[in-house]
């Protein structure tokens, strides 16, 4: 029994990593704009496709690059381009509506998401694409547990991103500016800080992290389609709310909780088709009993 | 240094300022006094770019200010200590000060911090405390400290005495006077007219969005209208 549970925890950590990475984007944008960027799941999808494009391109070169280099190239390429996409979306779609009623921004975000889905569909067609197996999936047996290099890589890259982001928010001037905006936006320009610049940076950062999640997801679950961002986006959004939206560490925690919900549901309930039911029930219960999420108070809480 | 010419501001089409003109010379302390709702805070918010002007002209050291966004005006050398202080509660004292030095060179940071801590030793004691754990007086010190970190040559202060115990008010005003003697120009908005007229060189009296009186503080203090309306008739 123990190895089965341990194995499932490992799998939950792998999936939870991806949810955590995407949840960060929801939570950071909410933290500084108090707006839910409903296009974020689709930004993740675009990041996933961009990773695929870069990986296929690098594999096609007659250089026989090592897999690690291809991974790194795809990671940097998709993070950079997805960051630009995120900044462009904010500039073109959200910024003109910053003074408008909240509901306008929400509807616009949904529209941007539909645009990204259908744009991808129009270019690539509906048939799913397959991610080339870059990283070895042959499992090592460690004490009754099977662990693949890919799982290890996902956990390490995620941990690295989480630690770096935490440092950025707590230690750098840009992180201070982000926290200041979440606390009292009107005062921030009085410090000589351009609020628009910080918001652009936040979108770039959140989108780049979602792209990293896209590459890791593509490697682990190698079937991509233009609508993949919808369900994963919802799960990441629930992760952010469960952890306490606006709270960065909360998003990390929520991601791993939702990963566990998805992996453990079929162990307890007869079929994995119950997973959305379980996840949304969890969300509803939490909203009733602890509306600000597990890690409590909203916004970039002092850490 | 600062010239305000025929400034109009409206909130939702209701005029809050109706053609206000005044100047602040380099090295002066100038105060705007007036009742609640006269438009004092509105003037400071417009000068620093937090509310747009409907009409008028503002020049700072010869440069047109109204076309610049708020964060650029700070870089030109003008800082507002806002009403209610506006301390970032989820940043420490040190982080509040560092953020205010956002646009400045990193090499100067330590020296400027030391200067602020020299003026307000309390802030140094509390430098690792969260902003929202400070007392009102400490918050006001931090708000002034932040403005100093921007290296402003013109300080705009909105009700620095509000909600503070008299002994703290005395301390803040002592600091303001000292800063002024060291070369900082100050535009002070104060509800406490007696105090303001004591510390400032010149004053403007604001009533329902218009300037109705102006002159050196020594003169205004004895003006019958000022004595009756703002100094309690004493």
How many CB pairs (< 8 A) connect A and B? 73
Contact between B75 and A182 using a beta-carbon 8 Å cutoff? no
Burial class (CB in 10 A: 0-12, 13-18, 19+), B106: exposed
Of the candidates A173, A184, A189, the beta carbon closest to that of B98 is on A173
Average pLDDT over residues B74-92: 93
Measured between CB atoms, does B37 come within 8 Å of chain A?
no
Return the SS3 of B65: coil
Of the candidates A189, A299, A301, the beta carbon closest to that of B71 is on A189
Q: What is the pLDDT of residues B99-114, one digit of tens each?
A: 999 988 888 899 999 9
Residue A194, min C-alpha distance to chain B (Å): 6
How confident is the model at residue A296, as a pLDDT? 67
Average pLDDT over residues A133-150: 81
Q: In chain B, what percentage of residues exceed pLDDT 90? A: 68
Chain A residues touching residue B88 (CB < 8 angstroms): 179-180, 183-184, 187
Q: In chain A, what percentage of residues exceed pLDDT 70? A: 97
CB A47 within 8 A of CB A210: yes
How confident is the model at residue A155, as a pLDDT? 94
Ordered DSSP codes for B84-119: T----TTSBHHHHHHHHTTTS-GGGHHHHHHHHHHH
Nearest to A18, CA basis, from A245, A263, A282? A263
How confident is the model at residue A297, as a pLDDT? 62
Please, what is the end-to-end C-alpha distance for chain B in angstroms?
34
Measured between CB atoms, does A302 come within 8 Å of chain B?
yes
Average pLDDT over residues A46-59: 95
How confident is the model at residue B183, as a pLDDT? 92
Q: Where are the domains of chain B?
A: 2-92+152-229
Q: What is the pLDDT of residues A206-233, one digit of tens each?
A: 999 999 999 999 999 989 999 999 999 9
Chain A residues touching residue B44 (CB < 8 angstroms): none
Confidence of residue B96 (pLDDT cuts 50, 70, 90): very high
Measured between CB atoms, does B150 come within 8 Å of chain A?
yes
Which chain B residue is nearest to residue A188, measuring alpha carbons?
Answer: B71
Write down the mean pLDDT value for chain A.
90
Measured between CB atoms, does B12 come within 8 Å of chain A?
no
Chain A residues touching residue B98 (CB < 8 angstroms): 173, 176
May I ask the CATH architecture of the domain B2-92+152-229?
A: 3-Layer(aba) Sandwich (3.40)
Contact between B90 and A302 using a beta-carbon 8 Å cutoff? yes
Residue B77, min C-alpha distance to chain A (Å): 10
How confident is the model at residue B187, as a pLDDT? 96
Write down the mean pLDDT value for chain B.
91
How confident is the model at residue B228, as a pLDDT? 80
Chain B residues touching residue A182 (CB < 8 angstroms): 90
Q: Count Cβ neighbours within 10 Å for each residue of B52-61 and write b for 16 or more, e otherwise.
A: ebbebebebe
Tell me the residues of chain A between 196 and 225 that have a Cβ less than 8 Å away from chain B.
none
Q: What is the pLDDT of residues B146-199, one digit of tens each?
A: 999 999 999 999 999 988 999 999 999 999 999 999 999 999 998 888 899 999
**CB hemisphere CA count around A12 (13 angstroms):** 21
What contacts 24+ positions apart, CB below 8 Å, involve A37-40? A37/A94, A37/A109, A37/A206, A38/A106, A38/A109, A38/A110, A38/A112, A38/A113, A38/A233, A38/A237, A39/A89, A39/A109, A39/A110, A39/A112, A39/A113, A39/A116, A40/A206, A40/A207, A40/A210, A40/A233, A40/A236, A40/A237
Chain A residues touching residue B146 (CB < 8 angstroms): 191
Q: What is the pLDDT of residues A95-123, one digit of tens each?
A: 999 888 888 999 999 999 999 999 999 99
Contact between A180 and B82 using a beta-carbon 8 Å cutoff? no
Measured between CB atoms, does A123 come within 8 Å of chain B?
no
With helix as H, strand as E and coil as C, how does chain A read? CHHHHHHHHHHHHHHHHHHHHHHHHHHHHHHHHCCCCCCHHHHHHHHHHHHHHHHHHHHHCCCCCCHHHHHHHHHHHHHHHHHHHHHHHHHHHHHHHCCCCHHHHHHHHHHHHHHHHHHHHHHHCCCCEECCCCCCCCCEEECCEEECHHHHHHHHHHHHHHHHHHHHHHHCHHHHHHHHHHHHHHHHHHHCCCHHHHHHHHHHHHHHHHHHHHHHHHHHCCEECCCHHHHHHHHHHHHHHHHCCCCHHHHHHHHHHHHHHHHHHHHHCCCHHHHHHHHHHHHHHHHHHCCCCCCCCCCCCCC
Structure tokens that stand for A12 in this block: 């939950």
Residue B226, min C-alpha distance to chain A (Å): 33
Structure tokens that stand for A35 in this block: 């707006």
| A194 vs B69: CA distance, rounded Å | 9
Statement: residue A133 has pLDDT above 90:
no
How much of chain B is in helix, strand and coil states, percent to nearest 5?
Answer: 40, 30, 35
Chain B residues touching residue A192 (CB < 8 angstroms): 71, 74-75, 100, 102-103, 150
How large is the ipTM?
0.91
Measured between CB atoms, does A301 come within 8 Å of chain B?
yes
Chain B residues touching residue A195 (CB < 8 angstroms): 71
| B38 vs B80: CA distance, rounded Å | 19
User: What is the phi/psi pair of residue B3, to 5°?
Assistant: -125, 125
| A32 vs A184: CA distance, rounded Å | 9
């Amino acid at each position: 029994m123990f190895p089965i549970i341990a194995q499932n925890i490992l799998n939950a950590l792998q999936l939870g990593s991806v949810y955590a990475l995407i949840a960060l984007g929801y939570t950071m944008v909410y933290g500084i704009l108090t707006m839910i960027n409903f296009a974020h799941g689709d930004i993740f999808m675009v990041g996933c496709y961009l990773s695929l494009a870069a990986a296929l391109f690098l594999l096609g070169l007659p250089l026989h690059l090592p897999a690690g280099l291809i991974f790194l190239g795809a990671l940097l390429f998709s993070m950079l381009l997805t960051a630009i996409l995120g900044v462009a979306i904010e500039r073109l779609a959200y910024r003109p509506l910053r003074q408008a009623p909240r509901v306008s921004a929400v509807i616009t975000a949904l529209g941007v998401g539909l645009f990204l889905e259908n744009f991808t569909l129009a270019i690539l067609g509906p048939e799913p694409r397959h991610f080339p197996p870059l990283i070895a999936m042959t499992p090592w047996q460690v004490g009754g547990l099977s662990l693949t290099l890919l799982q290890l890589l996902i956990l390490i890259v995620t941990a690295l991103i989480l630690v770096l982001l935490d440092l950025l928010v707590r230690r750098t001037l840009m992180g201070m500016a982000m926290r200041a905006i979440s606390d009292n936006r009107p005062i921030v320009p009085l410090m000589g800080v351009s609020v628009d610049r910080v918001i652009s940076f936040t979108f770039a950062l959140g989108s780049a992290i979602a792209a990293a999640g896209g590459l890791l997801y593509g490697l682990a679950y190698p079937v991509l389609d233009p609508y993949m961002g919808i369900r994963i986006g919802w799960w990441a959004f629930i992760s952010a709310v469960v952890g306490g939206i606006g709270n960065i560490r909360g998003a990390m925690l929520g991601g791993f909780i939702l990963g566990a919900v998805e992996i453990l549901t079929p162990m307890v309930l007869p079929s994995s088709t119950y997973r959305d039911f379980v996840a949304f029930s969890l969300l509803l219960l939490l909203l009733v009993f602890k509306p600000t999420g597990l890690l409590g108070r909203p916004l970039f809480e002092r850490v | 240094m600062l010239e305000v010419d025929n400034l109009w501001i409206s909130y939702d089409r209701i005029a809050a300022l109706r053609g206000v003109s005044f100047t602040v010379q380099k090295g002066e302390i100038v105060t705007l006094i007036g009742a609640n709702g006269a438009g004092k805070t509105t003037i400071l918010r417009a000068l620093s770019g937090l509310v747009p002007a409907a009409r008028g002209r503002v020049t700072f050291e010869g440069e047109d200010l109204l076309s610049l966004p708020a964060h650029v005006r700070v870089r030109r050398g003008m800082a507002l200590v806002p009403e209610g202080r506006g301390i970032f509660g989820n940043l420490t004292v040190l982080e509040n000060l560092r953020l205010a030095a956002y646009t400045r060179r990193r090499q100067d940071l330590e020296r400027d911090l030391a200067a602020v801590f020299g003026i307000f030793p309390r802030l140094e004691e509390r430098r690792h405390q969260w902003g929202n754990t400070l007392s009102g007086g400490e918050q006001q010190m931090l708000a002034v400290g932040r403005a100093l970190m921007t290296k402003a040559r013109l300080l705009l202060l909105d009700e620095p005495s509000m909600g503070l115990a008299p002994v703290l008010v005395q301390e803040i005003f002592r600091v303001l006077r000292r800063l002024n003697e060291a070369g900082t120009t100050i535009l002070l908005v104060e509800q406490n007219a007696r105090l303001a007229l004591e510390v400032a060189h010149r004053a403007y009296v604001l009533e329902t969005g218009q300037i109705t009186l102006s002159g050196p503080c020594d003169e205004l203090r004895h003006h019958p209208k000022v004595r009756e309306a703002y100094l309690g008739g004493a």
